[in-house]
């Protein structure tokens, strides 16, 4: 027998989303230490895991910013 419980969590506020973005920004700054620029303007990463995490966090940051924009436009 399967029970589906209602979602009792309140929607995430814009302030909470901004706090998450700040945390992501801080982590991205730490990850940028693994990136160096070469003379041609390209970037080289010394750690593949750091590069993957940086781009994954960047995508999440964009999704959160979209949520904030959608939430503020709905007011």
User: Residue ranges per domain, the chain?
Assistant: 14-73
What's the whole-model pTM score? Answer: 0.79
List of long-range contacts for 52-61, beta carbons under 8 Å, 24+ apart: 53/27, 54/28, 57/24, 57/27, 57/28, 57/31, 58/28, 60/24, 61/21, 61/24, 61/25, 61/28
Instruction: Let me know: does 24 contact 60? Beta carbons within 8 Å.
Output: yes
| pLDDT above 80 (res 75) | no
pLDDT of residue 9: 74
Q: What is the DSSP letter of 46?
A: S
pLDDT of residue 70: 87
Summarised one tens digit per residue, pLDDT across range 10-67 is 778 889 999 999 999 999 999 999 999 999 989 999 999 999 999 999 999 999 999 9
Instruction: Let me know: does 23 contact 73? Beta carbons within 8 Å.
Output: no
pLDDT of residue 13: 87
């Amino acid at each position: 027998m399967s029970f589906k419980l209602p979602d009792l969590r309140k929607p995430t506020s814009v302030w909470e989303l901004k706090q998450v973005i700040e945390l992501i920004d801080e982590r991205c700054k730490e990850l940028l230490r693994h990136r160096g620029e070469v003379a041609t303007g390209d970037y080289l990463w010394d750690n593949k895991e750091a590069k993957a995490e940086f781009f994954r966090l960047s995508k999440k940051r964009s999704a959160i910013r979209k949520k904030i924009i959608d939430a503020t436009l709905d007011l």
